[in-house]
Structure 1
Amino acid sequence: MARSTNMYGLSRITHLILLNINRYIHIIYRYRMIIYIQHNISITAIHIPGTVPGGVYSDLMKAGIISNILEGFNDVLTRWVAYDTWTYTGEFNVTTAQLVHKAALLYLYGVDTIADIELNGSPVLTTNNMFLRYTIDAKSHLKVGQNVLAVKFKSPVKAAAMRSEEHFTAPECVPSEYNGECHVNQLRKMQASFSWDWGPAFPSVGLWKTAEIKFFDYTIIRLLTAKTKKKGDFWNLIIKTYLESSQKSAAISVHIEAKLKVEGDQTIDIAKDFKVTTKADGTADIQFDMIISENVIRMWWPNGYGRQPLYDLQVSLIPQEDTAEVSSRHMQVGFRTVELVEVDASMKLGNSTAGRGLTFYFEVNGYPLFMKGSNWIPSHILPEHSYNKERIDQLLLSAMEAHMSMLRVWGGGLYEDDYFYQKCDQLGILVWQDFLFACNMYPADSAFLQNVQLEIEQTVMHLQSHPSIVLWAGNNENEAALIGNWYGTSLQFNKYKDEYIKLYVDTIRPIVENLDSNAYLVSSPTNGLKSEMDGYIAQNPYDPHYGDTHYYNYMADNWDFNIYPMTRFASEYGFQSMPSLHTISQATQNPQDLKVDSAYSKHRQHSPGGYGYIENQINRHLQLNRNDPDHFKKFIFYSQIVQAMAMKTETELYRQSQDEWYTMGALYWQLNDIWQAPSWAGIEYGGKWKMMHYYAKSFFAPVLVSPRLLSSGDVDVYLINDRFVPIINGKIIVDVFNFSSLVPASTQTYVGNASPLSSKKQDFQIQLWNLPTDDIFLRFSLEANGVRSSPYNFVFPRPLKTVKGLTEPRIRIQVSNQVSKVTNEYHYTVRLRVDRVVLFLWLEADAVQGRFEENGFIVTKPYIRILFKGPERIDAKEFEKKITYQYYLN
């Protein structure tokens, strides 16, 4: 591959932060970096400023050596970066006063991935896991004055290939459509960095998290954890401090004080003296309990079920030696109980077919809650950008606004930044956390297992205290892959099964169970306890009577309720769509790229057959002419319609099936996107909502009338109630519309009832077999005491491409001059007037920052009013001019 050989110099930059924290000196160095590149044939150096936290791709972009990696074909054109070796060099000063301290520990919180580390020319460490925190005893290597830290990175692509030669583990490589790299399963690295069916390959290199040196004399708290356990009328707060001491293999005495702020501006204090013996590396841990009355705290609840009170815990350690050195840690505690319940399903469903097998649901604070949500992939393909707070806020707030109560952090990505989990704690979004093994078999040699063991220990210790974390899963889809022979492993099935058990059962499971009380699931999907009884590899990991399932069917009609199998818990399901033209245009300036069959579009579609599947769904329901001059624009729009309707159909089926199958979760694939390309995401890269995410606000609504169109053509009606109070004698209104009129052709009302936390099939059915279904559709709504809102729902008996009476509407848009400001947002009232039914009315104002509160409307009223929320103030008339719209018309 051709590459530039121009040389670049740099101006040297030093950035030093000196902090005095808790009476011991704590120095954080954000190193001045020089990056070198070594070619295979001739040695040529590129010298540029580096950043910590950062990475080579980011630094090369800043220096202008490579352009924006997400534009055009740059994922392939910049691949040379991943094939070369790179060295980060940092220079920093150490004073005599600092070096006098008894201990000097260098912490590297994220080294991506294979690197040799030298301090003042002495080798001190070799790294092989980007998820580990590395601690180096730097005392003997430091000197007064200038010190040099060098981190010499090897090519991750070559390192993976070399390791595969010794420990080959299937598969051989990713599909060619991915434009990716091979053998990522050999490295403890973000698996998606070598490409995925929704993302590009950027095999990253760099110090993706911070680095720091701590100087101290006696003992410090490195990590603080706290777990809650309910005992009658009291809570037991189990507090654990993980210590690091300058005294190794020695008995030390410490004084610990803990303070918890609770309700009524009260503080619960405890103070204790401890004697403990440190290990050979100077580490030790101390555990103690704090007993708290339930009267002084409020329970923490998932989003939609209650509030999320968090209580400040401060723990300080004072060595017993004659010293002023104090080490303190702070965290927030949420009080809740959670249990994954796998018991005889007949206890919920009787001795019916559905009652065979085991349940699979989460009981939170004593209540069985249906989990509504999605799957989270890294928010950026470069890990150093994955913890951007603005992006995390945007995505998690979007999830909360769509009534989500759970996100599954997928196993091919990252253990997310502390800020992500803290935000989930604050918003009430439960986290199903996969360990980072996905869609591969994995080695089980001793070196790999030792590496994994340390990774799991650090991860569980670090994250377990978050009230949002409720489940650990060993891997993504590897049980299904092995029994399904996805990677041609059938001839060596016993070998791979043994390695599977050695990794996920013998290595990972005991660590999790020893450190945390949250449930551990060996794989996802899995039959849960039944898979374990079957030797951990079930003959059918998708058995609807057990565990969780992943389901994708691109060939059948995804708007048809009847194609979807039953499940206890749907942890993955989805359908692709295109990102908006606005988002696509951020990655290419070439008009010739804006075609479905362009080289650019084909390059961005990593799912084999992806465009064909989208077109198949479009053609089932909508009319789209390939010769239409607006074909590409309509293909984008229609793809988002079919995705939204497919996810609406499947999700509502799972919510309805709480009544019939005790289905207790719907986490669709996927929440977010990683670049500007077709994918299963509901939120585009950059934060723009697709139609699907708008629809999620409705299909995840706490109270919903949910109709199911049967194969017979008739309609069953369910009333879904996610509240703690019943709906008694509500009024379900069914309006029959012709496509040509905004006045219902007929209206019928029925009595609706639903118990708390339930889905209930109502005792009436809408019969359509005697109606002219080619020119009608049904609108469902609810009026009930105590129900403030419940969205409209609709049934289209026939494919929309065949309906009659759907004609071009007149649409008038007006923006009110009255603008309200709420916190940092400006709210604009947008009024729409129409003269007939409009299907999938889609509003855009891409020239203005912000978002419409609702979108993708089925318009059945002559007048609707919606809000637009954005950070900017803009003149109403100017705003009107910037609003564009699309809708579906045969």
Structure 2
Amino acid sequence: MRTFVLFCSVLTIINAEIIDLSSSDNVIWTFVSKNGSMKGPATVPGGVYSDLQKAGIIGDILNRDNDVLTRWVAFDTWTYTAKFQVSIDDLASRVVHLVFDGLDTTAFIVLNDHSPIGAVNNMFVKYVFDIKNKLKAGENVLNVTFLSPIMAAQIRSSRAFAAPACVPPGYNGECHVNQLRKMQASFAWDWGPAFPSVGIWKPVYIEKYDGAVIRWVTTHTKRVGVDWSLTVQAHIETSKKVTKIDGVLSIALQVEGKQMLKKWKQVNVETKADGTVVEEIELLISGNMIRLWWPNGYGEPTLYDLHVHYTTASKKEESRKDIKIGFRTVEIVESPASEKLGNTTAGKGLTFYFKVNGYPLFMKGSNWIPSNILPELGESDKATIDNLLTAAYDVNMAMLRVWGGGVYESDYFYEKCDQLGILIWQDFMFACSMYPVDPPFLNVVTQEIEQNVLRLQHHPSIAVWAGNNENEVALRGNWYGTSKDFKKYEAEYIKLYVDTIRPIVETLDPERRYLVSSPSNGIESEREGYIASNPYDPHYGDTHYYNYFADNWNMNTYPKTRFASEYGFQSLPSIRTLKTATSNPDDLKLNSKFSEHRQHSPNGYSYIENQLTGHMKLDVNDFKYFEKFVFYSQISQAMALKTETEVYRQGQADWYTMGALYWQLNDVWQAPSWSGIEYGGRWKMLHYFAKTFFAPVLVSPRQLVSDDIDVYLLNDRFVPIIDAVITVDIYNWTSLTPINTKQFPGDADALSAKLQDIDMNYWDYKKEQIFLKFSLDAPGVKSSPNNYVFPVPLKSIVGLIKPNITITVANIVMRRKEKLEYTVNIEVDTIVLFLWLETGIKGNFIDNAFIVTEPTITAKFVCSKYVAPRDLQSSIEIQYYVN
């Protein structure tokens, strides 16, 4: 059990003098293939696929099967060349460094025809090279030559093989990505294509100074009674050798009432051999001077400005970091479950929950994959990051898990999470593989972990570090045929995640919990030697659960868990999104080569079809079969995730389940996947449903095997619900008027799920003719979504008819901050299931996928640019389910 407070960076600028070597007026970048046949102007930061597209050498990489047709790019050697000018004055500084914030991935760097000034092999680290004696006045030439990542992976694997050799054939990917410290998904995954990119994916610059610079700032806090102790550590760097530094380190913290707390210290020390030193200042802060930082849905994510300065003794140079800090405590509580659940089956084992600012909070959220398959675009596209994170915020998410097969995200990403109050479960970048542990590999991993913990440690959004994604369960479950060499792989697993990574994390960030793997049994896995006999034991830790064979609309399908950190089901993206990847109408068929190429999950379409046809009628001879298959797949996914998520939220009552992070939030291309948001930003039905199943207050019914109905009241607020009224309307499918209405008293403690004392059955009715609607009215509860029970599969219901639907858009347009809001009025004459509104106009509906039980409802559409209401009205297309 550990308590800590973390901080968030707003600006990370070193106030040394900078010569920007990214694309600018001062530098000319070009790229060329090994034989010189392909070349062109380059963009830095950037990558070879992006540059080849801009040069017209290749087309849209996400069109049809261009992921395979452009694979030759990843087999070539590419050289990036910069020509730039420096003056004699630029050479006068005592320290002159060439800094690459990110190089993807294996490359050699040459400046002015000198022997290579450096070789790199990790895209996740910052590289700093001393070029004081290699730079010259006038024109300079910088060459960065990238080796083929496919070939580099093969060469390393021949020396230090680690299972598995390759991704499954259906991924259309490449082999041995686990040999490279590179985005693991760049060689393909079951949700994405292979684009083994190379390039200078982050900024590059020359920094020059005479004194020293602050490279990183870490912060450590602890409660002192009602006050806070803040320790600020400045990680100062100078030349690449032992150097004495002399100056003043100062901090200034702006707190409530615009008060400024300041403190300084004299620095006169000798650095370590690599030219670095860590200096710290401690500040005591009165508790009434700050407000706490809270996750989304539980309070405001309050941030404060912190300024850290280092000034040389001569006062001629200053280095500074300006960051925003958030005060909060977080601990993962792994204590005897019997303390919560008594001496029952559920009370065996340990709890696993996040306690924030002293409160046990249920973590609602999803899993984040890279926002673009090309890392340079994921890094730089702030609009996409804004849209995705705001979408998570809008549907009540409090946590995202940054998955271990992608990248450590940009500073901007974490800053945005800090501002929105979205906690981050941060995996280190190891996923679904065994990994080598030869000394060169461990050396680059050590640098990677050190740098990224130092870079990210101060963000209030980061809640926990996890060593890897699914590697404990992969080893125990023999996913890659490792059982015959189990002892070897077990020892290597421990050497990497326990002996190498854990000490770094616990030294640099001792207040934050390090989990060796996800999923795992947490402390219990550690007790069992780090590879538990059953890493999916529901009495411990977190679990990943996927089951494509059971009825996933049935709440009785799902096992218990303390914390669900991954679970999900596939659906197809909308026809509109698919059409951005192909203009050939013949591709839009389930059995087309295009569709088969885009489905990377083995038997994926069969699993979708089995879930879909288990509940809905769909005729393969329907001339709109594919269109309906796409739409019904989204219904099926949304209903399955709704069902499973509510099971986990209900489980807070009887198993102390305390988290539900479904797989996955976003997509990297136009293909079937587990995402709730399509590539391009269009919301699937799942994401709209998340707004309901993650609602702070929700009546959540469960139909039992006996056909009785248990009713839970879910309350994620800090105040109890008392004197509530739960209304149950029983509808016949033929009418908008309930055939029976029953009301029951309801209550729930703060931050709880409670099974209500309700004797609920509908045995007087034929199940195929009715459904039930649940609603809540409670003092102090402004809103709570309706919820539903469909007693039988939809394909078996009787009475649902084709509706008449009228859509009108009101003429009055409201301005909401930077958006325009339109009111869409909907009139129906019968029950409508999953009424879906869609338009080609850029914008989005605030709610969608309606279960319509009233003659009139309204929807809101928001967009940035004005469109005439009549044009919006004529553009709206509708879909719905009907047998």
Q: TM-score range by the shorter chain?
A: over 0.9
Where does residue 11 of structure 1 map in the other structure? none
Alignment pair present for 1:88 and 2:43: no
Q: Structure 2: which amino acid aligns with 1:225?
A: T
By how many angstroms is 1:765 displaced? Answer: 3.0
The structure 2 residue matched to 1:69, chosen from 58, 61, 72, is 61
By how many angstroms is 1:227 displaced? Answer: 2.9
By how many angstroms is 1:272 displaced? Answer: 1.3
**Mind listing any 5+ residue stretches in structure 2 that lack a counterpart?**
1-12
Q: State how far apart, in whole Å, the 1-side matches of 2:224 and 2:488 are.
A: 45
1:628 partner SS: coil
The structure 2 residue matched to 1:116, chosen from 108, 116, 131, is 108
By how many angstroms is 1:22 displaced? Answer: 8.5
Q: State how far apart, in whole Å, the 2-side matches of 1:870 and 1:188 are.
A: 41
Alignment pair present for 1:256 and 2:249: yes
Q: State how far apart, in whole Å, the 1-side matches of 2:182 and 2:576 are.
A: 32
Q: 1:444 to 1:24 in 2, by over 3 A?
A: closer
Please say if residues 442 and 500 of structure 2, whose CA atoms lie closer than 8 Å, have aligned partners that are also in contact.
yes
1:491 partner SS: helix
Where does residue 590 of structure 2 map in the other structure? 596
| Matched residues, number | 864
% same residue: 59
Q: State how far apart, in whole Å, the 2-side matches of 1:246 and 1:193 are.
A: 35
CA deviations over 1:189-213 (Å, ceiling 9, x no partner): 0000000000000001000000011
Q: 1:868 to 1:117 in 2, by over 3 A?
A: same
Q: State how far apart, in whole Å, the 2-side matches of 1:492 and 1:270 are.
A: 57
Q: State how far apart, in whole Å, the 1-side matches of 2:220 and 2:377 are.
A: 30
Where does residue 52 of structure 2 map in the other structure? 60
Map 1:473-512 → 2, pairs under 5 A: 473-512=466-505
Please say if residues 617 and 642 of structure 1, whose CA atoms lie closer than 8 Å, have aligned partners that are also in contact.
yes
Alignment pair present for 1:205 and 2:205: no
Q: Structure 2: which amino acid aligns with 1:813?
A: I
The structure 2 residue matched to 1:575, chosen from 555, 569, 576, is 569
Please say if residues 717 and 765 of structure 1, whose CA atoms lie closer than 8 Å, have aligned partners that are also in contact.
no
2:133 partner SS: helix
By how many angstroms is 1:328 displaced? Answer: 1.3
By how many angstroms is 1:730 displaced? Answer: 0.2
By how many angstroms is 1:225 displaced? Answer: 2.2
Where does residue 781 of structure 2 map in the other structure? 787
Q: State how far apart, in whole Å, the 2-side matches of 1:459 and 1:246 are.
A: 21
By how many angstroms is 1:217 displaced? Answer: 0.7
Please say if residues 22 and 325 of structure 1, whose CA atoms lie closer than 8 Å, have aligned partners that are also in contact.
no
The structure 2 residue matched to 1:469, chosen from 462, 471, 480, is 462
CA deviations over 1:619-671 (Å, ceiling 9, x no partner): 11000000100000000000000000000000000000000000000000000
Q: Structure 2: which amino acid aligns with 1:365?
A: N
Q: State how far apart, in whole Å, the 2-side matches of 1:231 and 1:600 are.
A: 62
Please say if residues 579 and 636 of structure 1, whose CA atoms lie closer than 8 Å, have aligned partners that are also in contact.
yes
Where does residue 687 of structure 1 map in the other structure? 681
Where does residue 182 of structure 1 map in the other structure? 175
The structure 1 residue matched to 2:98, chosen from 101, 106, 109, is 106
Q: Structure 2: which amino acid aligns with 1:648?
A: K
Alignment pair present for 1:36 and 2:28: no
TM-score (norm. length: structure 2): 0.97
Q: State how far apart, in whole Å, the 1-side matches of 2:565 and 2:89 are.
A: 55
The structure 2 residue matched to 1:455, chosen from 448, 455, 472, is 448
Higher relative contact order (CA 8 A, sep 6+): 2
Q: 1:183 to 1:22 in 2, by over 3 A?
A: closer
Aligned Cα root-mean-square deviation (Å): 1.0
By how many angstroms is 1:274 displaced? Answer: 2.0
By how many angstroms is 1:300 displaced? Answer: 0.2
1:67 partner SS: coil
By how many angstroms is 1:226 displaced? Answer: 2.1
TM-score (norm. length: structure 1): 0.96
Q: State how far apart, in whole Å, the 1-side matches of 2:843 and 2:735 are.
A: 33
Q: State how far apart, in whole Å, the 2-side matches of 1:474 and 1:281 are.
A: 27
By how many angstroms is 1:88 displaced? Answer: 0.3
By how many angstroms is 1:714 displaced? Answer: 1.3
Q: Which runs of 4+ in 1 moved over 6 A?
A: none
Q: State how far apart, in whole Å, the 1-side matches of 2:559 and 2:400 are.
A: 22
Please say if residues 22 and 326 of structure 1, whose CA atoms lie closer than 8 Å, have aligned partners that are also in contact.
no
2:21 partner SS: strand
Moved more, 224-233 or 164-173: 224-233
1:304 partner SS: coil
Q: Structure 2: which amino acid aligns with 1:29?
A: L
The structure 2 residue matched to 1:628, chosen from 601, 610, 622, is 622
Please say if residues 313 and 332 of structure 1, whose CA atoms lie closer than 8 Å, have aligned partners that are also in contact.
yes
The structure 1 residue matched to 2:17, chosen from 13, 25, 46, is 25
1:397 partner SS: helix
Please say if residues 372 and 665 of structure 1, whose CA atoms lie closer than 8 Å, have aligned partners that are also in contact.
yes
CA deviations over 1:235-291 (Å, ceiling 9, x no partner): 111101111224832332221121111100110011211222112232211112111
Where does residue 731 of structure 1 map in the other structure? 725
CA deviations over 1:173-195 (Å, ceiling 9, x no partner): 11111000000000000000000
By how many angstroms is 1:23 displaced? Answer: 7.2
Please say if residues 716 and 751 of structure 2, whose CA atoms lie closer than 8 Å, have aligned partners that are also in contact.
yes
Please say if residues 476 and 532 of structure 2, whose CA atoms lie closer than 8 Å, have aligned partners that are also in contact.
yes
CA deviations over 1:66-106 (Å, ceiling 9, x no partner): 00000000000000000000000011111111111111111
Q: Structure 2: which amino acid aligns with 1:118?
A: V
By how many angstroms is 1:361 displaced? Answer: 0.3
Where does residue 330 of structure 1 map in the other structure? 322
Where does residue 9 of structure 1 map in the other structure? none
Alignment pair present for 1:432 and 2:425: yes
By how many angstroms is 1:44 displaced? Answer: 3.8
Where does residue 361 of structure 1 map in the other structure? 353
Where does residue 534 of structure 1 map in the other structure? 528
Where does residue 716 of structure 1 map in the other structure? 710
Please say if residues 264 and 281 of structure 2, whose CA atoms lie closer than 8 Å, have aligned partners that are also in contact.
no
Q: Structure 1: which amino acid aligns with 2:334?
A: E
Map 1:226-625 → 2, pairs under 5 A: 226-246=219-239, 248-320=241-313, 322-387=314-379, 388-516=381-509, 517-625=511-619
2:811 partner SS: strand
By how many angstroms is 1:222 displaced? Answer: 1.7
Q: State how far apart, in whole Å, the 1-side matches of 2:240 and 2:147 are.
A: 35
Please say if residues 247 and 278 of structure 1, whose CA atoms lie closer than 8 Å, have aligned partners that are also in contact.
no
